Chain A
Amino acid sequence: MTALATPPTPDLAPHALAELRPRRAAAFTAFRALLLRDLAVLRKELPIFVVRTIMQPLLLLFVFTYVFPRIGQAIGGTGGGAADFSTMLVAGVVATAMIFQGIQAVALPLVREFGYTREIEDRVLAPLPVWAVAVEKIVSGALQALIAGAIVFPLAAVVPVSSVHLHISWPALLTVAPLAALTGASLGLALGTRVQPHQVPLMFSVIVIPITFLGATYYPWARLTPIPWLKVAVLFNPLVYMSEGFRMALTPVAHMPGPAVYAALVGFVAGLGWLGIDGFRRRVLA
């Protein structure tokens, strides 16, 4: 930097000090501004967002619903079996896209923001409670997860070799989708506040990949009956309920009972949300 050639102008200082605003109003405007900030960043990075969102569902659909049927691979079979499989898979792909987005939109930026520079302090010093900043992260991540989930639908329309037959239950979709988005974002917050930068690769190996592969993405949960221990073990995986929830909302395929899906999703949002908010508090307050 070069030194100032001339002193700063005399009216550098504030003309008048800001007045104290009511807590709730100040917190609300700050919360809204934080969301606006996240949306501005999203808009700026839209091409990156679209690419990172599309790639995984695109490849999943391409391999499982285009390549395999074309080469006669057993998964999904051909003809009517392929169509059923594609239909069943779409729900899992939507859920996977959403949980991935939750992690990418919340956890990875947080890991950096908690890093050496602690640039998160910029937002923590906004006039709202620390927990509200964490909640904003969840809301922002959930919005991005919803967009990611929505992007899967046009892919599902064009990629599979056999057409996908969706039977949309709008009440179920309009309730499962926000819950699934919040679950993904809460998981992102919980991971982002408890993972150190050097542990990110480990996080993907130990948490993200197992969640994805064992999340009832490629098969309905009920089909695990021949492997009872796995059928029980995967119940700790939030993606199972997201996949089954979307299966319930989008397809005629057999799925978990609705109340179980809703109860589990609400439970995961609460549990992971609490873990994340508590972790956020611990990371920003000494």
Chain B
Amino acid sequence: MSIGSPVSGDADVVGGAGTDGGSACGPGLGRVGAVIGWADFGFGRVVAVVDVVAARVVVVVGFGRVVVVVDVVVGGGLTVSTRRKSVPQALPATRRRMAPAVRSGRRWRWGASRVMSTVDGTGSPPGTGGPDTPGTVSGICPNPSAGVLIPGAQGQKVHWMYTRPLESLSALTAPERQVGLPGGRAVEVIRTDGLTKTYLGRGAGPITAVDHLALSVRSGEIFGLLGPNGAGKTTTVGMLTTRVVPTSGRAVVGGVDIVADPARAKQVIGVVPQTNTLDRDLTVWQNLYFHGRYFGMPAGEAKQEADRLLEQFRLADRASTNVATLSGGMAQRLMVARAILHRPRILFLDEPTAGLDPQSRIALWEILAELHAAGQTILLTTHYMEEADQLCDRVAIMDHGRILALDTPAGLKRSLGADTIVRVGSEGDLRRLSAVLAAMEGARSAQVSGDGVLLYLSGPVARTLPRIFAAAEANGFPVTDLSVTEPTLEAVFITLTGKELRD
């Protein structure tokens, strides 16, 4: 918990003392170099900060939009003040210097911080080398893991203290960041930094499913996570949708820190999980209606939206039936309808077409394309390269919890540097065959894949095929199979990992 988070109620920083102070301040708090101890109880709107050196205790309690600050200086009296929340124009910072002793995994935590700068320009924000400038970090959104903010006064201005480096806060907790895009700018709606999930396996030792993932997804794009089963895609989506607690690292989704404030993050996401999670106790229509109610829609609006989406997803004739009677494709459409009903900033789909028949798959692709055209940001995971290729603006290829490559589908395929890929099936020492083929004219590279060799060629292929046969046979390799394809994402994956997507 931070003071700002619970007190402000709406992603603002608590403050409101403005620049007129408001509490009698001891000599230590707010002084650059002062060390403060802090405790975050995590169960409400209370934070206490103890400045041992200054013999001062500040307790801040939030009641809605009003903040009560109880400021006790030992031997100096007691001050109680109330103030309405507001976003301060300038925020000085502290950097955690002493061992933070943060009890990870717990709601409550405690630690010690050193004041690094103050609002009046004394000291320097970490990493900037210069004094804090009013307005420079006004986008900071406090959250439970962001640290502690202390309103106080040194006779002149409010002091704010953080337990994290300023730059990481401003980078990660700004509601929406402008990021550069070729030909323009777009808003970044998902950002992860060092996101890691390690499962403590029984007997087999810890398993790192996602390993220091750094990801940036922009507003309005369809972003694909492509990789084989076990690559860490579902765990990644699980973390971004608050269902999996990261072991370390941070992630901001739609402007909300998913670790610090998962309940709030759920407001901005829509999720279509891998399995059918429709509510079996409700009808098709009720699944949508109650979903709308969960997200705060009044009854009338939820009814309207449920009706509208059932029409649009061609499920109106099934409105009063139980969801257990739906086919796989219908259930998937209903889950997409449910996921977008509350107008999420980001729609997550985890293997959305796995197990669907081809017709249903195409129908779902059409729906996603329409959503994309209307500006919906979508992050989907898939192990179907065609899906990633056809739907996604950008694709991250994942394996063993890491991103191996990230680009547009065309860019990824271009990275192969080949116009054609010839797969030569054979027997024997395929590494030697690979070396033989790679030495041919027009060959960019060759790679062993399964029971054959992938040969990457540039230029026309027609006259090359007979030469491939000849070279293989001449070196004692019988050609058992030969196929020619355009560069694909599968080939990119094989190039990167040496194995096939469906391995």
B264: shortest Cβ distance to chain A, in Å? 5
Beyond A1-B363, A18-B344, whether A127 also contacts B267 by CB under 8 A is: yes
Q: Shortest Cβ distance from A174 into chain B, in angstroms?
A: 29
Contact B374 A40 (CB under 8 A): no
Residues of A at the B interface (CB closer than 8 Å) are 1-4, 7-18, 20-27, 29-30, 33-34, 36-37, 40-41, 44-45, 109, 112, 116-130, 132, 284-286
Shortest distance from the beta carbon of B186 to any chain A beta carbon, whole Å: 15
A23 and B9 contact, CB distance less than 8 A: yes
Q: Which of B1-25 contact A (CB under 8 A)?
A: 6, 9-11
- Could you name 26 residue pairs across A and B whose Cβ atoms are closer than 8 Å? A1-B328, A1-B333, A1-B356, A1-B357, A4-B367, A7-B366, A8-B313, A10-B374, A12-B374, A13-B370, A13-B371, A21-B267, A23-B6, A33-B293, A36-B290, A37-B282, A40-B286, A41-B282, A119-B280, A121-B277, A125-B269, A126-B294, A126-B295, A127-B264, A128-B263, A286-B244
Q: B363 contacts A4, CB within 8 Å?
A: yes
Q: CA of A120 to CA of B279 in the docked complex: distance in angstroms? A: 8
Residues of A within 8 A of B373 (CB): 10, 13
Instruction: Give the number of A-B contacts (CB < 8 Å).
Output: 174
CB < 8 Å neighbour of B256 from A20, A37, A116: A20
CA distance A237 to B242 in the complex (A): 37
**Contact of A18 with B286 in the complex, beta carbons under 8 Å:** no
> Does A26 contact B278, Cβ atoms closer than 8 Å?
no
Q: Which residues of A contact B273 (CB under 8 A)?
A: 118, 121
State A119–B271 Cα separation when bound (angstroms). Answer: 13
Give the residues from 318 to 354 in chain B that come closer than 8 angstroms, CB to CB, to chain A. Answer: 327-330, 333, 338, 340, 342-345
**B216-272: which have CB < 8 Å to A?**
235, 238, 241-245, 255-256, 261-264, 266-269, 271
User: Is the pair B10, A20 in contact by a Cβ cutoff of 8 Å?
Assistant: yes
- For residues 352 through 408 of chain B, which have their beta carbon under 8 Å from a beta carbon of chain A? 356-357, 359-360, 362-363, 366-367, 370-371, 373-376
What chain A residues lie within 8 Å of B441 (beta carbons)?
Answer: none
Q: Which of A10, A16, A33, A118 contacts B277 (CB 8 A)?
A: A118
A8 touches B367 (CB 8 A): yes
List chain A residues, Cβ under 8 A from B264.
20, 23, 26, 127
User: A30 to B312, alpha carbons, bound, how many Å?
Assistant: 26
Instruction: Give, as a whole number of angstroms, the nearest-CB distance from B461 to chain A.
Output: 35
Which residue numbers of B lie inside 8 Å of A, CB to CB? 6, 9-11, 199, 235, 238, 241-245, 255-256, 261-264, 266-269, 271, 273, 275-282, 286-287, 290-291, 293-296, 312-314, 327-330, 333, 338, 340, 342-345, 356-357, 359-360, 362-363, 366-367, 370-371, 373-376
| Distance, CA A18 to CA B356, complexed state (A) | 30
Q: Do A26 and B376 form a contact, CB below 8 Å, given A12-B371, A37-B290, A118-B275?
A: no
Check if A1 sits within 8 Å of B329, measured CB to CB: yes
Q: Which of A1, A15, A26 contacts B360 (CB 8 A)?
A: A1
- Across the interface, name the chain B residue whose C-beta is closest to A4: B363
A33: contacting residue among B271, B294, B327, B330, CB under 8 A: B294
Residues of chain B within 8 A (CB-CB) of A13 are 340, 370-371, 373-376
Given A2-B359, A117-B276: A285 touches B263 (CB 8 Å cut-off): no
Alpha-carbon separation in the docked complex, A124 to B291 (Å) = 11
Distance of A36 Cα from B291 Cα, bound (Å): 11
Write out the residue numbers on chain B whose beta carbons fall within 8 Å of the beta carbon of A122. 277-279, 287, 291, 338
